């Protein structure tokens, strides 16, 4: 990756509108507080996911509105896909989260943003890398029209080729995995289910999308959804493991529909797979607009979260095996096992 930064300039306006400076920059820094963390002092994965999405959205929105030769209609960058989201190390209460976002590829109507997260211990004066992510955004005008994206200049043909490969891979994945027609995970509300089964830990949450949850275009921000999804999945994981858990990774995720302000959102999660050291939770988000006549529930996003069970000292614990009962649960377990093996293979190839 080449350096897209500019030399310091006394003219702040020209520095902000320079095309190179728009590609890269620290866009979010935040001191983590007790209400950001669980009872063991680890910052919630959902809090970090929300910060990551905000960092990407700030950079993508700034770039799309100011990098082109002609001033476009005002637009807001909306996240449409998570290519990958890795949790490398835990973040603790009192750490300062620093997020660096960089645009690494632009297509005609989308852009790929890489976000790196570091946790700074301001007492010890040290930093450590905690998260990394790659997110796809599209610029939306107030009318909902997708705007053209100004094309970036690459440092080398190899850099551009890597970006093109990522673009084609995500395009192929979206075509192979369209929005499921099946409705939200049926919530059993089981109170006397056998422990360690799928229904025992299944969880559903609901909330009303308000002014604090939306962009200037009145669409629910992706980070708000990600935070709620992680909370739901975390509850599922805790109910199954009955220990502290931490988010390990989030699989490639597609956002199917924008959610308007005033919508009622339902988030449901259930375990699909367990290995000796981790468990996978599927989360489905659906919404309904109650003020619209004949409004029906629609799927907005679905995702697979992976969690690790840990003790009070942060040491990994064995995960209780999932008891699968039905044919559908067995099929989901097999599919989850395949995703688990694929993740292991990619991690080994990355070493």
Of residues 6, 15, 20, 38, which has the active-site annotation? 38
Burial class (CB within 10 angstroms; exposed 0-12, middle 13-18, buried 19+) of 348: exposed
Contacts of 251 (CB under 8 A, 6+ apart): 84, 303, 304, 305, 306, 339, 343
294 noted as active-site residue:
no
Of residues 36, 95, 213, 230, which has the active-site annotation? 230
**Helical (H) or strand (E) element with 246:** strand 244-250
- φ, ψ (nearest 5 deg) of residue 94: 95, -15
> In this structure, are residues 184 and 191 in contact, taking their beta carbons and an 8 Å threshold?
no
3 noted as active-site residue:
no
Instruction: Show the CA angle centred on residue 109, arms to residues 29 and 282, nearest 5°.
Output: 65
Tokens of 39: 């009872």
Q: Look up tokens 């509850």; give the residue.
A: 235
Q: Which residues pair with 254 in a beta bridge?
A: 81, 302
- φ, ψ (nearest 5 deg) of residue 237: -65, -40
> In this structure, are residues 164 and 10 in contact, taking their beta carbons and an 8 Å threshold?
no
Distance of CA 35 to the CA centre of its chain: 20
Tell me the C-alpha distance between 350 and 47, whole Å.
27
> In this structure, are residues 43 and 93 in contact, taking their beta carbons and an 8 Å threshold?
yes
> In this structure, are residues 111 and 105 in contact, taking their beta carbons and an 8 Å threshold?
yes
3 state SS of 232:
helix
| Among 276, 331, 339, 260, CA closest to 303 | 339
Residues taking part in catalysis: 38, 230
């Amino acid at each position: 990756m080449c350096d897209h930064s500019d030399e310091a300039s006394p003219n702040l306006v020209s520095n902000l509108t320079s095309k190179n400076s728009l590609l890269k920059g620290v866009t979010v820094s935040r001191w983590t507080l007790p209400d950001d963390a669980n009872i063991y002092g680890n910052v919630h994965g959902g809090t970090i996911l929300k910060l990551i999405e905000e960092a990407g959205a700030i950079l993508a929105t700034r770039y799309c509105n100011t990098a082109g030769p002609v001033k476009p209609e005002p637009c807001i960058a909306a996240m449409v896909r998570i290519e990958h989201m890795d949790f490398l190390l835990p973040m603790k209460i009192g750490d300062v989260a620093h997020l660096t976002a960089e645009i690494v590829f632009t297509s005609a109507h989308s852009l790929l943003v890489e976000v790196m997260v570091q946790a700074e211990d301001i007492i010890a004066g040290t930093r450590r890398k905690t998260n990394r992510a790659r997110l796809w955004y599209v610029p939306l005008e107030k009318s909902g029209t997708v705007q053209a994206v100004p094309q970036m200049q690459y440092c080398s043909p190899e850099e551009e080729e890597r970006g093109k490969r990522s673009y084609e891979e995500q395009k192929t994945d979206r075509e192979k995995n369209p929005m499921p027609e099946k409705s939200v995970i049926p919530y059993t509300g089981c109170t006397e289910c056998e422990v360690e089964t799928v229904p025992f830990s299944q969880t559903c949450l609901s909330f009303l999308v308000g002014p604090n949850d939306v962009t200037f275009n009145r669409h629910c921000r992706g980070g708000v959804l990600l935070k709620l999804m992680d909370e739901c999945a975390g509850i599922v994981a805790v109910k199954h493991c009955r220990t502290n858990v931490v988010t390990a990774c989030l699989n490639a995720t597609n956002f199917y529909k924008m959610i308007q302000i005033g919508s009622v959102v339902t988030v449901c999660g259930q375990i699909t797979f367990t290995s000796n050291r981790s468990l996978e939770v599927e989360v489905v988000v659906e919404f309904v607009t109650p003020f619209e006549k004949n409004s029906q529930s629609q799927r907005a996003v679905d995702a697979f979260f992976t969690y690790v069970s840990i003790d009070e000292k942060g040491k990994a614990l064995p995960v209780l095996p999932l008891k699968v009962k039905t044919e559908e649960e067995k099929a989901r377990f097999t599919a989850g096992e395949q995703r688990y093996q694929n993740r292991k293979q990619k991690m080994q190839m990355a070493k």
